[in-house]
Copies of this chain bind each other. A is one copy, B any other.
């Protein structure tokens, strides 16, 4: 079960606590390894997001489709992130989002119920959740701040600084959508800012 190692490392790193052999067995007993092929959907709009998945390998996009058929990417997720629409996952309500694999993926998935019953009681996990929740709050605040107060060009520069690997890994049209821009606009921004 070598693909659990990434999850163990992640929990231990974020929590600053060690997992016992027993703890690890609880993880192995309840998280299910799953493969998702490129272009396959992990979640479809209107469905309830029953699972969250820890991404061992691969990448995905979380997006909506508007009335004109245009995609808007809310989130790009890669290794060591959790894949889910958390609104739907926590409340078990139909999701407004789609989640689709951008590359072949390996995830470890689990339901909300099993997390609450078996995983959360593990102290390292619940410590990890606290840290993660703080990090998310901070990141969300920063992105929102950029969004209301900066131009497309400034937001792009910030993304280059904060997540340089995103620029390498994902095509420019996805980056544009993530920034709330059209691909044409991002293309022109890059052209101008390189001068």
Q: Is A141 an interface residue (CB 8 A)?
A: yes
Q: Is A149 an interface residue (CB 8 A)?
A: yes
Q: Closest B-chain residue to A135, C-beta based?
A: B90
Q: Is A61 an interface residue (CB 8 A)?
A: no
Chain A: how many interface residues by the 8 Å CB criterion? 27
Q: Knowing A133-B137, A138-B86, A138-B87, say if A144 contacts B144 (CB, 8 Å).
A: yes
Q: Is A162 an interface residue (CB 8 A)?
A: no
Identical chains in the assembly: 2
Contact with B along A121-141 (1 / 0, CB 8 A): 000000000000110111011
Q: Is A12 an interface residue (CB 8 A)?
A: no
Instruction: Tell me whether A179 and B140 are in contact (CB under 8 A).
Output: no
Q: Is A66 an interface residue (CB 8 A)?
A: yes
Which one of A73, A133, A149 has the highest number of Cβ atoms from chain B below 10 Å of its Cβ? A149
Instruction: Tell me whether B144 and A86 are in contact (CB under 8 A).
Output: no
Q: Is A74 an interface residue (CB 8 A)?
A: yes
**Which residues in chain A, 122-168, are within 8 Å of chain B measured between CB atoms?**
133-134, 136-138, 140-145, 147-149
Please report A residues at the B interface, Cβ cutoff 8 Å: 64, 66, 72-74, 86-87, 90, 96, 133-134, 136-138, 140-145, 147-149, 177-180
